[in-house]
Amino acid sequence: MSAMQEEMQTRLVRQILWNRLIAVVEEQANVLLKTAFGVITREAGDLSAGVYDSKGRMLAQAVTGTPGHVNTMARAVAHFLDRFPAESLKPGDVLVTNDPWMGTGHLFDFVTVTPAFLNGKLIGFFASTCHIIDIGGRGFVAEATSVYEEGVCVPHMKLMDAGLVNQTLLAILMSNVREPIQLRGDLMGLVSCNEVATRRLAAMLEEFGLTELDTLGEYIVSTSRESMRAAIRKLPRGTWSASMTLDGYESPVELKAALTVLDGAIHVDYAGSSPASRFGINSPKCYTDAYTSFGVKCIVAPAIPNNAGSLEVVTVSAPEESIVNPLRPRAVTARHLIGQMLPELVFACFAEPLAGKVPAEGAGSMWILGLSGGPQLEGAQPDAARFNVISIGIGGMGARPAKDGLSTTAFPSGVGAIPVEITEAQSPLLFRRRELAEGSGGVGQQRGGMGVVLEIENTEPAPFSIACATFDRRHNPARGRAGGAPGHVGRVTLASGKVLPGKETYVVPAGDRLIAEMPGGGGYGAK
């Protein structure tokens, strides 16, 4: 066999192994989708799954999943290994945390890490995460002024030790949340998906006569890193800045970014951004890094695999105690309100050097409707049904240079909407309307995407509450680009006419209805 033939065969084998590795993490994600108890995981796909080499470097991720989960999880495994060295781990161990600063940005996301073994030898790790509907504290609201009010924080510890479940940890958690069965079910779903993936990886390596993953892992990481660097070198060199104003909580939030294209690397600096809020809308640095990297990659090299190598060439700096780098114990529950706007800000930085190739602003962060009811609400009768459910409202994406913006599409999170039938089955709520907000997209040569309108009532003669923690762009619309008009702002009212203006939790009186209209995306090009 000639040297050229050997090289071609090596490339072919590597491609097959890469495809099989992707299949493993896709199965990992699908097991979580099918076993999760929480609707935001199993219906909306608010999760992530990934495989790591023995050093804790992310090699591949499942397509199903959000950038905020995947990219934070890429670095989260290193925090586990700092506390649990690889050589101390055994088959059947599962590590867990929901620490916002060392996980995915708020207490509602649990990260689990499971070591993978082949013939008794550690070959790598699988990590997964999903959103838990409740973690105690005030619930999914932004009114808290410290993380201690937001729920139970689980430090890095073992959820399972050599196959034995940490029943003490589960008992503590289940005693402090409103939905204990859902919490336990979701944690066990995380355990199950990782366990299936470890078996699949071991079988894959045995099939190909391999005894370790690190050699393939080094090839994947180095190839992705160099491909990303090559893509960056095709860009103009320089520094470009952009800013964005959001509604904020106690006052408007100003986000500022300076993006610098270097020789094979990109740095984003958030100096000048607003200070941390007193309330729970702050984005921890790990979450800021995750969505900044995602925004860069969308523009520069969307086809390159997302792993430790491609992420390495994008660096981020942010002033401590700014809204994009709050320090413990700042409140952070609604951190996606800030974090999911950052890709739009990165796009704005690229608009000048890549004129004619960058879409208009979109609605950005999705609206999470935290809906609850029961006798604890003012005006409710003692027999009012207790419920605690989530629905998701999605706005429109910005128009593209040659196409209209996508309507009701959750960019950058990629999360789907929860079917209204699911929410109605879990509560006495009824969705009277779920339809496109006609005209909400900004006009231009290409129209911005439209948001959705939701109209909700309680079928019982009882009030229900709505947490408006994540509702933004009600005063600052998504901006158009290249002369396109801005999208329409979002709006939240009661059918009786009252406007719900802030991010607080409001009570919808018995017999009244909630009407929430999501913001639209900006238009592109002068009409």
For residues 332 and 146, the answer to whether their CB atoms sit within 8 Å is no
**130: nearest Cα among 176, 83, 185:** 185
How far apart CA 124 and CA 198 sit, in angstroms, is: 9
Q: Report residue 5's pLDDT band, with 50, 70 and 90 as the boundaries.
A: confident
Question: Token pair of 20, please?
Answer: 């099989």
Q: Which contiguous run of DSSP H or E holds residue 26? A: helix 3-35
The confidence score (pLDDT) of residue 1 equals: 65
- Residues shown for the chain: 527
**428: nearest Cα among 383, 469, 362:** 383
Contacts of 325 (CB under 8 A, 6+ apart): 270, 276, 283, 284, 285, 288, 318, 319
Question: Token pair of 442, please?
Answer: 């900004």
Which residues in 404-510 belong to E strands, given as ranges?
429-436, 452-458, 464-467, 491-494, 505-508
Contacts of 355 (CB under 8 A, 6+ apart): none
Q: Mean pLDDT over residues 475-497, rounded? A: 98
For residues 291 and 308, the answer to whether their CB atoms sit within 8 Å is no
b/e 256-283 (16+ beta carbons within 10 angstroms → b): bbbbbbbeeebbbbbeebbebbebbbbb
Q: What is the pTM of this model?
A: 0.96
For residues 192 and 35, the answer to whether their CB atoms sit within 8 Å is yes
Span 62-121, pLDDT tens digits: 988 889 898 999 889 999 999 999 999 999 999 999 999 999 999 999 999 999 999 999
The single-letter DSSP state of residue 49 is: E
The confidence score (pLDDT) of residue 7 equals: 77
For the chain, domain boundaries: 3-212, 235-358, 359-527
Span 210-236, pLDDT tens digits: 999 999 999 999 999 999 999 999 999
Q: Report residue 382's pLDDT band, with 50, 70 and 90 as the boundaries.
A: very high
Q: State the DSSP string of 66-105.
A: -HHHHHHHHHHHHHHHHHS-GGG--TT-EEEE--TTTTTS
pLDDT surpasses 70 at 152: yes
Q: Mean pLDDT over residues 27-54, rounded? A: 95
How far apart CA 229 and CA 247 sit, in angstroms, is: 36
Mean residue pLDDT across the chain: 96
The confidence score (pLDDT) of residue 142 equals: 97
Q: In what order do the strands lie in the sheet with 387-393?
A: 387-393, 367-373, 464-467, 505-508
Q: Report residue 136's pLDDT band, with 50, 70 and 90 as the boundaries.
A: very high
Distances (CA, A) of 321 to 154, 187, 257, 328, 469: 23, 32, 16, 9, 20
b/e 438-459 (16+ beta carbons within 10 angstroms → b): eebbbbbbbbbbbbbbbbbbbe
Q: Mean pLDDT over residues 236-244, rounded? A: 98
For residues 326 and 332, the answer to whether their CB atoms sit within 8 Å is yes
The single-letter DSSP state of residue 119 is: T
Q: Mean pLDDT over residues 282-286, rounded? A: 98
Residues β-bridged to residue 325: 322
pLDDT surpasses 80 at 159: yes
Quick check: bond before 236 cis, omega within 30?
no
Q: How far is CA 329 from the centre of its chain?
A: 21
The confidence score (pLDDT) of residue 388 equals: 95
Query: Which 3 state secondary structure label does DSSP give 140?
Result: coil
**488: nearest Cα among 452, 515, 456:** 452
pLDDT > 70: what percent of the chain? 100
Q: Which contiguous run of DSSP H or E holds residue 303? A: none
The confidence score (pLDDT) of residue 101 equals: 98
